[in-house]
Amino acid sequence: MSEACKVSAERRGDVAILRTDGYINNQGGEEIAREAYAQLESGARALVLNLEKTRIVNSIGISILIEVLEKVMDRKGMLAFCGLTPTIDKTFRIMGLAQYAEIYPTQEDALRGVNPQPA
Amino acid sequence: MSEACKVSAERRGDVAILRTDGYINNQGGEEIAREAYAQLESGARALVLNLEKTRIVNSIGISILIEVLEKVMDRKGMLAFCGLTPTIDKTFRIMGLAQYAEIYPTQEDALRGVNPQPA
Amino acid sequence: MSQGGSAPPGLAGAREVSMTIPVAPEMEIVATAQAAALGEYIAMARDKIDEVKLALVEACINAFEHADCRDEQLHLTFRLGREPKGREWLEVEVLDKGRGFDSSRVEPPSIEKSFAGHRKRGWGLQIIRSLMDEVEITSGGGGTRILMRKYK
Amino acid sequence: MSQGGSAPPGLAGAREVSMTIPVAPEMEIVATAQAAALGEYIAMARDKIDEVKLALVEACINAFEHADCRDEQLHLTFRLGREPKGREWLEVEVLDKGRGFDSSRVEPPSIEKSFAGHRKRGWGLQIIRSLMDEVEITSGGGGTRILMRKYK
Ligand SMILES: Nc1ncnc2c1ncn2[C@@H]1O[C@H](COP(=O)(O)OP(=O)(O)O)[C@@H](O)[C@H]1O
Ligand SMILES: Nc1ncnc2c1ncn2[C@@H]1O[C@H](COP(=O)(O)OP(=O)(O)O)[C@@H](O)[C@H]1O
């Protein structure tokens, strides 16, 4: 199915950038969680979730993102989102995700946000 | 309605370039015909129809394009199409339009086609 | 709700599209194509269309997950209308012939409760109510009907 | 035609979406959104989806123009299936409860006839037959049913 979510990861020091492409439903959320946990296990301190290529999500998918957020907070790490459509942004705010994770317009902004000292 | 076809025209000497944007149904076809006839009246010898921004047509719209083609042929003029999607291209060939009007990939090709001598 | 009074003559009943989708994974995405097409038909802004699509996805997956539909189908109706001398709207009705539920007894979710408990879910109705301008839920033994409207 | 035998268990009847659209201008475009969504669902190539969309447009406008539908509606059914051990397909059925016609008596069009005569029309069925892989037309006093199939 064309909407199945693909997740790719890139590591820059202790920051992991996860890029999604497609529908974030339960499978999409689990795909993201799997990759996020692998990155945390291998020492990532901050996760940047770039949702630029995702135009639709559902609340099951987002609930899995809340689990990821919780795990990151348990480890005193950071989670930042970027590339949200206005509707996904609004939905994250409705759910209060924006109080615990930062939301940035672009990936560059997000990287600066999780990594304030010059790289 | 978002699909309503817009037609814009540009004149280069005795060649008129008509660009469509949207659905070529009866209204869209009539819009094109109106502009095409105005160009012929004011001395255009060749018409280039750039359909780059049209993703869907119907047979009523195309039947109006056949009328335009007929009028152009009556005046010993030329009609060239460019920017067709593979499906619109196929449909024009099914209808035999391709035997009487040239079909080019790009506008540049079409302009060269109707204007073989250096401009 | 009434049809917009401004439909041209000869278009009586012309502003309603109904469809039936199977209870199956990702069929909610297929349904959103219809919402988008009708939103575009009235030239609704893209972000508003996206909001309708997301609300529709939530209504569909609720029925898929919770309703246990006897007919294994979801019945959708899309209506276009206009307030008297007012704004145009797109209305989406999602009807399932499932077990029904009492929406007044659904506890509102919060992210803090999500963190504390193991249940991160429970956001669907909240999202629907926040993204749409008007929402009406009717539920009982015959099933559930969610009627939601977005103004252009 | 039978449902593809390869649908996962629990998806019985899961591969059919039906919809009703009003007889009204540009509703054929709204209908194509559904064909596209289902084509994408089985990852059909974009050009093939475009061909299904154009054939569907032609079937719809034929019914709008010629059928004089009693119920002022068009009934569409989209089916996904697979040949035994074979290719997947998308099938579109367009049903009108109109006056019907005898498709065997429709004269094939040609561009030369178009030039000669004043009638440039008459291309719809030809386009449908050329763009789809299989086409079946059943028509009578009860209306017209066009069943068309495209392989992935
Ligand atoms: N169509 C439906 N049929 C039956 N029960 C429903 C339906 N929609 C919602 N519910 C009930 O309302 C509850 C809250 O729904 P919702 O806010 O969407 O959250 P979630 O689906 O994540 O539980 C569900 O857990 C379910 O018990
Ligand atoms: N759904 C229909 N109901 C009644 N008559 C139809 C229908 N579809 C096609 N026809 C008849 O078949 C003829 C040929 O149709 P078509 O090839 O689409 O060309 P056109 O619509 O341009 O005439 C029509 O002119 C009409 O008489």
Probe target for ligand 2 pocket from D60, D101, D147, with the most ligand atoms within 8 Å of CB: D101
B119 within some domain: no
Tokens 């869209």 label which residue?
B28
* Residue B59 CA, ligand 2 centroid: distance in Å: 11
Cβ atoms of C14 and C54 within 8 Å: the answer is: no
**Whole-angstrom Cα Rg for chain B:** 13
- Chain C residue numbers touching A87 (CB-CB < 8 A): 47, 50-51, 53-54, 131
The per-residue pLDDT for range D54-111, each reduced to its tens digit, is 999 999 999 999 999 989 999 999 999 998 888 999 999 999 999 999 999 999 999 9
How far is the alpha carbon of C76 from chain D, nearest alpha carbon, in Å? 9
Q: Exposed, middle or buried by CB within 10 Å (0-12, 13-18, 19+), for C40?
A: middle
How do strand C73-82 and strand C88-96 relate by DSSP bridges? antiparallel
A69 within some domain: yes
CA distance D97 to C128: 37
From D122, which residue of chain B is nearest by alpha-carbon distance? Answer: B59
Sequence-distant (≥ 6) Cβ neighbours of residue B62 within 8 angstroms = B24, B29, B91, B92, B95, B97, D123
Cβ atoms of A77 and A49 within 8 Å: the answer is: no
Query: Whose C-alpha lies nearest to ligand 1, atom 8?
Result: C62
- Chain C residue numbers touching A23 (CB-CB < 8 A): 26, 29
From D42, which residue of chain A is nearest by alpha-carbon distance? Answer: A1
Whether D129 lines ligand 2, by a CB cut-off of 6 Å, is no
Whether C74 lines ligand 1, by a CB cut-off of 6 Å, is no
pLDDT of residue C7: 39
B1 within some domain: no
Lowest mean pLDDT among A92-96, C114-118, C142-146, D124-128: C114-118
CA distance C132 to D120: 47
pLDDT of residue A4: 78
Judge: D110–B23 Cβ closer than 8 Å, yes or no: no
CA distance C40 to C28: 19
Does the pLDDT value for residue C2 go beyond 80?
A: no
Q: Exposed, middle or buried by CB within 10 Å (0-12, 13-18, 19+), for A44?
A: buried
Q: What is the dihedral of CA C145, C97, D9, D12, to 10 degrees?
A: -100
The per-residue pLDDT for range A4-52, each reduced to its tens digit, is 799 999 999 999 999 999 999 999 999 999 999 999 999 999 999 999 9
Tell me which residue in D29, D50, D110 faces B3 most closely, judged by beta carbons. D29
CA distance B66 to B63: 5
Does the pLDDT value for residue B100 go beyond 90?
A: yes
Residue range C31-56: mean pLDDT, rounded: 97
Judge: D47–B85 Cβ closer than 8 Å, yes or no: yes
How do strand C88-96 and strand B15-21 relate by DSSP bridges? unpaired
| Alpha helix ranges (H) inside D67-123 | 111-116
pLDDT of residue A2: 52
The two structure tokens encoding residue A40: 């945390």
Is the CB of C123 inside 8 Å of chain A's CB atoms? yes
| C-alpha distances in Å from residue D117, one per residue of B76, B78, C47, C61 | 19, 21, 49, 55
A119 within some domain: no
Average pLDDT taken over every residue of chain D: 90
- φ, ψ for residue A35 (rounded to 5)? -65, -40
Q: What percent of chain C stands above pLDDT 90?
A: 78
How do strand D88-96 and strand D73-82 relate by DSSP bridges? antiparallel
Chain D neighbors (3+ CB pairs < 8 Å): A, B, C
The two structure tokens encoding residue B81: 């199409």
Does the pLDDT value for residue C14 go beyond 60?
A: no
* Residue D106 CA, ligand 2 centroid: distance in Å: 8
Ligand that comes closest to the CA of residue C146: 1
Single-letter amino acid, residue B93: R
pLDDT of residue B59: 96
Does the pLDDT value for residue D5 go beyond 80?
A: no
CATH number of domain containing B10: 3.30.750.24
Chain B neighbors (3+ CB pairs < 8 Å): C, D
- Residue D14 — pLDDT band, cuts 50, 70, 90? low
Chains B and C form CB pairs within 8 A to the count of 8
The per-residue pLDDT for range A72-115, each reduced to its tens digit, is 999 999 999 999 999 999 999 999 999 999 999 999 999 999 98
Domain count, chain A: 1
How far is the alpha carbon of C106 from chain D, nearest alpha carbon, in Å? 29
B64 within some domain: yes
How far is the alpha carbon of D86 from chain B, nearest alpha carbon, in Å? 25
Whether A59 lines ligand 1, by a CB cut-off of 6 Å, is yes
Does the pLDDT value for residue C10 go beyond 50?
A: no
The per-residue pLDDT for range B23-70, each reduced to its tens digit, is 999 999 999 999 999 999 999 999 999 999 999 999 999 999 999 999
H or E element in which residue C130 lies: helix C124-131
Residue range D131-145: mean pLDDT, rounded: 97
- Residue D120 — pLDDT band, cuts 50, 70, 90? confident
Cβ atoms of D14 and C23 within 8 Å: the answer is: yes
pLDDT of residue C86: 87
Is the CB of D76 inside 8 Å of chain B's CB atoms? no
- φ, ψ for residue D93 (rounded to 5)? -115, 130
A1 within some domain: no
Paired residues of B49 in beta bridges: B18, B81
How do strand A46-53 and strand C143-151 relate by DSSP bridges? unpaired
Chain A neighbors (3+ CB pairs < 8 Å): C, D
pLDDT of residue B97: 93
Average pLDDT taken over every residue of chain C: 90
Its pTM stands at: 0.89
- Residue B115 — pLDDT band, cuts 50, 70, 90? confident
In chain C, what are the domains? 16-151 (3.30.565.10)
Q: Examine chains A and B and say if they touch (3+ CB pairs below 8 A).
A: no
Give A97's DSSP letter.
Answer: G
Cβ atoms of B55 and D29 within 8 Å: the answer is: no
Give the ipTM of the model, two decimals please. 0.88
pLDDT of residue D92: 98
For residue A73, give its domain range. Answer: 6-114
B47 within some domain: yes
Cβ atoms of D83 and D105 within 8 Å: the answer is: no
